[in-house]
Structure 1
Amino acid sequence: MAGAMAILGSSILALLLAGYLAQQYLPPPKPKVIGVDLGTTYCSVGVFQPGTGKVEVIADKAGRKSLPSVVLFTDQGILVGYEAQELADANPLNTLYDAKRFIGKRFTPEELSTESGRYQFKILYNKGDAVFSVFSNESMYVSPEYIGSLLLLELKKMAEQYLGTAVSKAVISVPAEFDERQRNHTVKAAQLAGLDILRVINEPTAAAMAYGLHKVDVFNVLVVDLGGGTLDVSLLNKQGGMFLTRAMAGNNQLGGQDFNQRLLQFLFKQIYRRYKTLPTQKEDVHHLRQAVEAAKLNLTLYDSVQIRVPLSLPDPRHSSEGGGEDSGGGRTVLFEETVTRDLFEVLNRDLFEKILQPVQDVLSRGHLGRYEVDEIVLVGGSTRIPRIRQVIREFFGKEPNTSVDPDLAVVIGVAIQAGIMGGSWPLQVSALEIPNRHFQKVNFN
């Protein structure tokens, strides 16, 4: 008996030693499962690297780690991501974005009519579902999950090019408030792109994992997710490696696009004040939008930025009263404007303060005081804005956690979970989500 135990012990020791030597000296295997963040405004893909335990968010050929969630239908074919975004202003009726807002969601005709009023492309009612009407050589109708599949297919191609091998399995994130139908339609979009979804994980849980909160001793976690078009605030309770979504609130009409619009309107006023006319060419408006986006990003680092945009302005003596296309005459000017961080904050002061409304509601519905929050996690590119971080810091009396790139927090967390599902080493502590059917998201518009 003692001899048998000794042999068994030696065998186990040999296996452990072999595993250790394999990890130390053999090249690590390629990741088997990718992590996908199908965002409303941008989407990303990442992998957990076996051996190193690091997450790599995969970049495109230009080094960009996020893909605009935009799809454009043309007579020559379908454009996805940055190519679609570049031509969006020139072909607005066939440029689809925000498809995630519609995927798997049930509407009444009245609800869809109200929602479709926010977009230039056509959205039609189909037995409770939304479908998009586009023209690509011929009129056609496409579903939100089909648009999602085109984005996911592009991410899949990026991952395959990076890994040098075919990819067929993934973990994907969804908003915590998505019901079963919305989750199933998201999975359907992935299947259309040739991906087998091993697990669906809530975006706030993924963000918490990116910050490593699944491995530390915290209980009350508040996730503030402010992206390009929406604000989502989630209160998570965490014990061990389990997360429970205790309360949610948000504003589905508040985000970086709204901050951009305020600055764009200011620039229009400055242009009119100087030249007594406004730009009418789509290319000029597109270049102004690009300049505004760049200015917003640079103002997170600098106190002021300089905007310079060449404009082809109509002659005010010939332009129509309705402000349509130039009817004769014109001039090219170099529009220049210095924009300070203070000005940007003044233009958006009321919007920045709106962020606290869903925060307060989540705490109230979660029966929690602001000082009982253990960790405040920031997600989404708009949380880079210094004034937004200041508003949150002053409200809670503590610094929010900004140790992870807010643009990539969700995809990093999803990639960690993908590594776990793929059996990658070093082993991670997996996050478990406790199903909670009792909370309801409240939206402030």
Structure 2
Amino acid sequence: MSGEISMIGSVILALFLAGYLGQQYLPPPKPKVIGLDLGTTFCSVGVFLPGSGEVEIIRDQEGRKSIPSAVSFTTTEVLVGHEAVDLANCNPQNTIYDAKRFIGKAFESEVLKEESARYPFKVMNNNGSAEFEIFTNHTFTVTPEFIGSRLLLKMKKMAERQLNVPIQKAVISVPAEFDERQRNYTVRAANLAGLEILRVINEPTAAAMAYGLHKVDVFNVLVVDLGGGTLDVSLLNKQGGMFLTRAMAGNNKLGGQDFSQRLLQYTTEQVQQDFGVPLTLKEDLHRLRQAVEAAKLNLTLQHSTTIRLPLHFHSSESSEGSAPAPVLFQSVITRKLFEDLNEDLFQKILAPIKTVLTEGHLEKQEVDEIVLVGGSTRIPRIRRLISEFFGKEPNTSVDPDLAVVTGVAIQAGIMGGSWPLQVSAIEIPNRHLRKTNFS
């Protein structure tokens, strides 16, 4: 009997030794489960690399780590991401964005009508569900989950090209306030893209995982997620590896696009003052909008930046003799000017923060960790505003644009059994949770 036990022990030891040597000297297996962040404004895909334990964010062919959440329909093809955005100005009624706002959501007629008035494309009401009407060589409608599926398919192909293996399985993130129907429709979008979803994880929990908070001793975590179009604030209560969302609040009409719009308004007024002519040409507006967006990004690192671009004030399709030469518009934009233009919008960020603390029965000094998510949280004034309110610095150790996809990729590695094994984050459902919305 003792001989049998000794033999079993030897076999187990041999297996452990073989596993260790395999980890040390054999190339690690390719990851086969991807992590997907289907964002309102941008999407990203990441993988957990077996062996190294690192997360790799998959880049597109131009080396970019995210793609715009836009899909454009033409008479001959369907364009996704950056290619779709390039057509937005000349094909506005067939370029769909912000589809995540509509996916799986049941609308009252008046609410949907009010919501759709914000967009250049046509939003239809199909028994309380939103659909988008497309006008190409014929007229047809597409659903929000179809738009989502095109974005997810694009990211699936990006991952397959990078990893050189077929991908069929994924973990996907959703906003914490998504109900069962919205989650199911998000999964349906993934299924349309040929993906099996192994787990749906809340975006704030994914962000907390990216910061490693599922492995450390913290209790109360505040996640401030400020992207291109929405603000979401979540208060998480963590015990061990389990996360409970205690309170949520936000503003679904506040984000980086609004800050850019203020700067765009300022520069268009400056153009009229300088040249005495309003800026009406689509091409000029498009170039100025791009320059403004670039200036906003530069001001996160610099105290001033210069917008410099030629303006035509006249269509290039006009006869050559009557088309005036372009003029050069220049404007120095300081960080202080940008902050002054947006100060009232920045102050709106504090309202949902105060609400989640009140609803979570928590004093601000009881928050152990403040996590920033979304590219707009890079804005120095916003970081300063949050740190002044709490009396301590927020955690900025992770790229805020990629925090959610990083956490989802870690969860994908867990679901795929990748080595080294990670601690999984377990979400405790809070059936009584409601999100407070500001506007």
TM-score when normalising by structure 1: 0.96
Residue of structure 1 equivalent to 2:116: 116
- Shift in Å, 1:254: 0.2
Displacement of 1:331 in angstroms is 4.5
User: 1:439 aligns to what SS in structure 2?
Assistant: coil
Match of 2:401 among 386, 407, 417: 407
Tell me if the contact between 2:32 and 2:166 (Cα under 8 Å) persists in the aligned partners.
no
What is the match of residue 17 of structure 2? 17
C-alpha distance in 1, partners of 2:329/2:139? 40
Q: Is the 8 A contact 2:160 2:166 kept in 1?
A: yes
Equivalent positions of 1:42-441 (< 5 A) are: 42-313=42-313, 330-441=324-435
Look up the equivalent residue of 1:136 and give its one-letter code.
Answer: T
Aligned 8 A contact 1:234 1:249 in 2: yes
Q: Deviations over 1:121-157 (max 9, x none)?
A: 1001110100000112211100000000000010011
Give the distance between the partners of 1:17 and 1:440, measured in 2 at CA: 51
Measured after TM superposition, the shift of residue 276 of structure 1 is 1.0
How many angstroms apart in 2 are the aligned matches of 1:217 and 1:437? 26
Distance (Å, rounded) in 2 between the aligned partners of 1:310 and 1:90: 20
CA contact (8 A) 1:198 1:421 kept: yes
Deviations 1:392-417 (A, max 9, x none): 00000011000000000000000000
In the alignment of these two chains, the number of paired residues is 433
SS of the residue corresponding to residue 83 of structure 1 reads helix
Aligned residue identity for 2:361: H
SS of aligned partner of 2:23: helix
Correspondence for 2:318? none
Does the residue aligned with 2:286 lie in a helix, a strand or coil?
helix
d(CA) in 1 for partners of 2:101 and 2:31? 31
Amino acid at match of 1:372: E
Deviation at 1:4, TM superposition (A): 2.8
Which deviations, in whole Å up to 9, do the C-alpha atoms of 1:260-318 show, x marking residues without a partner? 00000000110010111122221111111110110011100001001111111259xxx
Is the contact made by 2:215 and 2:241 (CA closer than 8 Å) also made in structure 1?
yes
* Post-superposition offset of 1:423: 0.6
Contact 2:281 2:314 in 1 (8 A): no
Per-residue CA shift, 1:227-269, capped at 9, x if unaligned? 0000000000001110000000000000000000000000011
Matched letter for residue 382 of structure 2: I
For structure 2, the residue ranges without an aligned partner over 5 or more in a row are: 316-321
8 Å CA contact retained: 1:41, 1:97: yes
Whole-Å Cα distance in 1 between the matches of residues 374 and 425 of structure 2? 21
Q: Distance in 2 between matches of 1:331 and 1:25?
A: 66
SS at the partner of 1:64?
Answer: coil
CA distance in 2 between partners of 1:136 and 1:370 (Å): 53
CA-to-aligned-CA distance 1:151-191 (integer Å, 9 cap, x gap): 00100110000011111100000000000000000000000
SS in 2 for 1:208: helix
Runs of at least 4 residues of structure 1 off by over 4 A?
328-331
The structural deviation recorded for 1:87 is 1.6
User: 1:329 offset after TM fit, Å?
Assistant: 6.1
- Separation in structure 2 between the aligned mates of residue 329 and residue 90 of structure 1, nearest angstrom: 21
1:146 alignment partner, SS class: helix
Contact 1:233 1:250 in 2 (8 A): yes
3-state SS in 2 of match to 1:201: strand
Deviation readout 1:357-390 (Å, 9 max, x if unpaired): 0000000000000000000000000000000000
- Report the TM-score, using the length of structure 2 for normalisation: 0.97
Structure 2 counterpart of 1:319: none
**Partners of 1:17 and 1:202 in 2: CA distance:** 38
Displacement after TM superposition at 1:89 (Å): 1.2
Q: In the TM superposition, what is the alpha-carbon distance from 1:9 to its structure 2 partner?
A: 2.1
Identical columns (%): 71
